[in-house]
Structures are given as structure tokens and as C-alpha cells.
Structure 1
Amino acid sequence: MNNIISVINSYLQFAFVRNAITVGVLIALCSSLLGVTLVLKRYSYIGDGLSHVAFGAMAVANVLGMAKQSTFIVMPVTVFVAVLLLKTGQNKKINGDALIAMLSVGALAFGYMLMNIFPPGSNISGDVCVTLFGSFSILTLSGNQVIVCVIMSIVVISIYIMFYNRIFAVTFDENFAKATGIKTDRFNLLIAVIIAVIIVLGMNLVGSLLISALVIFPALSAMRIINNFKGVVLCSAVISVLCSFLGMVVSIVMSAPVGSTIVATNMIVFIICFIAGKIMGI
């Protein structure tokens, strides 16, 4: 045990490790807050669809030689698609599930095709793997990327706290919220935009394919042991931050992929919470 602690302390001496853990914890916190709303509003599939769209946009950025500035391409594209999905999902003539499936598959195929036709580097498989699964990309964040992640995370958390009551109302009973004068369309749009921002930020942590797990698992785990909204949000935040921190520490010590380790940690915690919920009868 002492050896493990000493190894962790030795790694924390490096600035890039401290930056990675800081960014990872902030992204995990943001993901957990909106994850509860996504699960309760049955919007979980939107996060998965947007993550695939983000992969396509990331591929375009890599082909254009803008890998370090990819956020400035990926984020506007993902936000635009999130708004598009929200608007078209309200159109009864269009099946929302089919549209998301089409965009997901199309974006993945388009991104992979571009990276093969115009390879950004000599190791195409490695570039694709990093984009999809995160690999160790969070340990190579530039100073500007860290600043952008910290600022955007603070903005997301501040917006959530500021509009908590309205988000709560829209989440549980949208018709009642509309009757009380709340502009539900605006807050649904706000939720979609924040989800898109979280998806983009989380790509550096767990990759485009695994980010939806980071959003959903903490919320599902918290719902197994807590039965009120505020408690679920707080518990989800704690679970997400702890799982991300532990996952990153384990991945660094054992030289395992960061994203996969964090998701595996979340899965273990979900199983524990599921069993605990059954025992407590929740």
C-alpha cells in the first residue's frame, strides 16, 4: 500500500499529470450534473449520437492539421447538431431515433473515411484509436486546452447552479413548467447545448465512443441508492468525480488506457450501488 502511495506521489510531481487530473475531475463533475437530467428525460441516446458526430468533426480537424485547435471546430459543429436534433425531434413527421442513428453512423463513417484518404500521420490506426477511446491523450493536453477545459467547465457548472430550479421543473413535468410560465423550449435548448459542450470536453478524457458512459453511469448508480432529485444529483457528482480520479490514477500506475479504466471503474461502482439498492429496498 505504501509503495502504491509513493508511486502516486511521484507521478503527481509532474505538471501534466496534475493538469490531467484537474481537467478530468472537472469534466466528470459536469457530466454527472447533466447525466441525471438526460436519464430522467430519456435523452440518453442523444449523448451517444453527439459523441459520434464529434468524432467526425475531430477527423476533419485532424485532416486540416488543426489537431491542437480541434475544439474550435468540434464544439460549434456538435452544438449545431445538438440544436438540430432537438428541433427535428419535435417534428412528428421525423423519427428522432432514426435521425440520431443516421447521424451517428454517418459521422463515424465519414470521419474514418477522411482519416484514411487524407491521413494526418503515419499511424492511422493509432490516431483513430486515440479519438475513439481517448487513450493517453488527456496526459498530452496543451496549456491552452487545459485553460479552455477549465473555463468551459466552470461555465457549465455555473449555468447549472443558476438555473437549477428551472432545469428541475423541465426535467420532471415539462407541461406543468410551461403552464407556470417557464420557457421550456429555451431550457431544452440550453440543456442540448450544455450536453454538446460536455461531449466535446469529455473526448480528451475517455474518447468519443465512451463519453456517453461517463455521462450516464454515475446518474444510474446514484438512482439505485437515492430516491430524490437533489440527492441523486449530489451523489452522482461524488461518484463521477471519485471514479474518474481513481480511474486516472489506476491507468497511470498500471499504464492502462485512461478512458477504458474510468468506464470500468464506473461499471464496478454501478454494480455495487445496484446490489446496495436491492438490499435497502430502493
Structure 2
Amino acid sequence: MEILASEFFQRALIGGVLIGITAPLMGIFLVLRRLSMIGDTLSHVSIAGVALGFLIGVYPVAVGLVFAIIASFFIEKLRKTYKTYAELSIAIIMSGGVALASILFTMGRGFNINVNGYLFGSIFTLDNVDLITIAVVTVVVLVAIRTQLKELFLLTFDEDAAAVSGLPVRFYNVMISVLTALVISASIKIVGALLVSALLTIPAACSLIIARSFRQSVITVVIIGELAVVAGLMMAGVWNLAPGGTIVLLLIAIMLVLLLLKRGMKMGS
């Protein structure tokens, strides 16, 4: 197909493939720890950083990344403050992120700010700086997970046991939040702030349907994420659809098919 020869589409594929690895990987840890909404929170905070980046003339994704990392520390701090109501931290930070983003975008009305591109994604406009950013984030995430997989596994399934065994729980909680912030900031231009949490959570939801172990879950989320990203980009390129929305709807379709297959297998047995 002609579109495969296009440089902008090749960049989109490279960026999509990289995010198709890291976002689902981080998502499986968040979903298993019942923190799936943290994706929405950090993405909204990132958008506030993007808006500030436009206002001060600094690479928007980099400013969004800084905002997301700072927000991840605040979330962890509030989670410790409201131990019984840990979800409050996510709600508070999300509200603050949305409020700040709205104010900054209002201040930037006189500037050429492509709001829709960051809200809904604009993967076909990825440039070399974006690809380098995504590649660096991918390497950081993969190295962190590869070297700390056992510790993350214990923390994910039994945080109290991890603390008793001497694991620095606070450090690993912050690490997961920071890695998630990095992935979300890098993903914003691909699927958009309003859809990025789907790339974190839906592959994880799919893996929980078919995987029988944690290791299988880790492998399954990556396969499903890559399948949806590559197929979604191809469909969006050929039929001129919104890439982010196409990827997310494809993920939902995969999940529904898996649910139907599982139900059919149960009825058959």
C-alpha cells in the first residue's frame, strides 16, 4: 500500500509500536492494584503542562511530562494521607489538572494551540523529537520492569507482605507512578489525553480474561496492545479515520470477542 511508503506513516508506526509495549505493560500493574483511573488523572495533568509549554515556547510534551511526574508524587503523598479513601487522591489531582488546563488554554487563545491534537491524538504528526522522547521512555520502562519484576510482582499482589519482607514499598509506589507518568506523557500525541487511559487499561482487561498467570498476563497485554495499535493505524490510514479513536474501539472490540469466546467455551463445557 502507498501509505506504508509515507514517511509520516512510518514514524507513526514506530511511535505506535513503542507505546504499544509500554502502555499495556504499565497498565497491568495499575489494573491489578485497582489504580486504573490514575491514567485519566495524569493525562489531564499532562495536558495542563502541554498548554504551559505552548505559552512559554518550550517543547509541550516535555513540560507535560514534568507536570505528570510532579502529579505522580502528589498522588502518592495524598494516598498516604487518606489511606482509607485512597481514591480521593486521584479525584483531587484530576480536578486540579483539568482546572489548570482550562485556565492555561484560555490564556493561550491568542496563540496557535492545537488543542484537539493533544486531546484526541495526532499520531500522524509525530516528528523526530517525539520519536526520540517515546524511545527513551520505552527503554526506561522496559529496564525498570525487567530489573524489578519480582519486587513489582510482590507489591502488586500483596503490599503488606512486601512491606513486612523489607521491600521499600514507598519507593516502588513512587516508581510505578513516575513510570506511568512517563508513558502517559509520551502517549498523548498518539492517542490523546482523553483516550490514553484506554491503552493502559483495556489490554489489561483483555489479558485478565485469557491469562492464567502473571507472566502470561504480561505477555498477553503486549500482544494485544501491539495488535490494536498496528491494526488501528492501518485502518485509520487507509480509511482516513481518527487514529486514537480507531485504536481504542479496536481494543474494545477485541475485549468483547474474548468475552464472547470465553462465555461460549463455558457453555460448551
Report TM bin, short chain.
over 0.9
Match of 2:9 in 1: 17
1:155 aligns with 2:131: no
Letter in 2 for 1:168: F
Letter in 2 for 1:70: P
Matches of 1:120 and 1:151, distance apart in 2: 33
Query: What aligned pairs does 1:135-174 form with structure 2 within 5 A after superposition?
Result: 137-174=122-159
Match of 1:73 in 2: 63
Match of 1:32 in 2: 24
Letter in 2 for 1:202: S
Following superposition, the deviation at residue 116 of structure 1 comes to 2.8
Following superposition, the deviation at residue 281 of structure 1 comes to 4.0
Ranges in structure 1 where 5+ consecutive residues have no aligned partner? 1-8
Letter in 2 for 1:165: K
Match of 1:270 in 2: 255
Matches of 2:86 and 2:117, distance apart in 1: 29
Matches of 1:34 and 1:133, distance apart in 2: 21
Match of 2:54 in 1: 62
Say which SS state the counterpart of residue 71 (structure 2) adopts.
helix
Letter in 2 for 1:260: G
1:218 aligns with 2:203: yes
Match of 1:118 in 2: 108
Say which SS state the counterpart of residue 251 (structure 1) adopts.
helix
Following superposition, the deviation at residue 158 of structure 1 comes to 1.6
Equivalent residue in structure 1 for 2:117, among 106, 122, 130: 130
Matches of 1:71 and 1:64, distance apart in 2: 13
Following superposition, the deviation at residue 146 of structure 1 comes to 1.0
Ranges in structure 2 where 5+ consecutive residues have no aligned partner? none
Residues 175/97 of structure 1: CA separation in 2 closer, same or farther (3 Å cut): closer
Residues 94/88 of structure 1: CA separation in 2 closer, same or farther (3 Å cut): farther
Tell me the number of residue pairs that the alignment of Structure 1 and Structure 2 aligns: 267
1:85–1:96 contact (8 Å) kept in structure 2: no
Say which SS state the counterpart of residue 51 (structure 1) adopts.
helix
Letter in 2 for 1:119: R
Matches of 1:19 and 1:59, distance apart in 2: 24
Matches of 2:191 and 2:136, distance apart in 1: 19
Letter in 1 for 2:93: L
Matches of 2:95 and 2:174, distance apart in 1: 24
1:49 aligns with 2:49: no
Runs of 4+ in structure 1 displaced over 6 angstroms?
none
Following superposition, the deviation at residue 45 of structure 1 comes to 1.3
Match of 1:193 in 2: 178
Percent identity between matched residues is 28
Following superposition, the deviation at residue 95 of structure 1 comes to 4.3
1:210-250 deviations in whole A, cap 9, x for unaligned?
00001000000111112211111111110001001111111
Following superposition, the deviation at residue 251 of structure 1 comes to 0.7
Match of 1:182 in 2: 167
Matches of 2:235 and 2:82, distance apart in 1: 47
Matches of 1:177 and 1:94, distance apart in 2: 19
Give the alignment's TM-score, normalised by structure 2: 0.93
1:184-220 deviations in whole A, cap 9, x for unaligned?
2211111111000011011011001100001000000
Superposed CA RMSD? 1.8
Letter in 2 for 1:109: A
Residues 93/265 of structure 1: CA separation in 2 closer, same or farther (3 Å cut): closer
1:39–1:219 contact (8 Å) kept in structure 2: yes
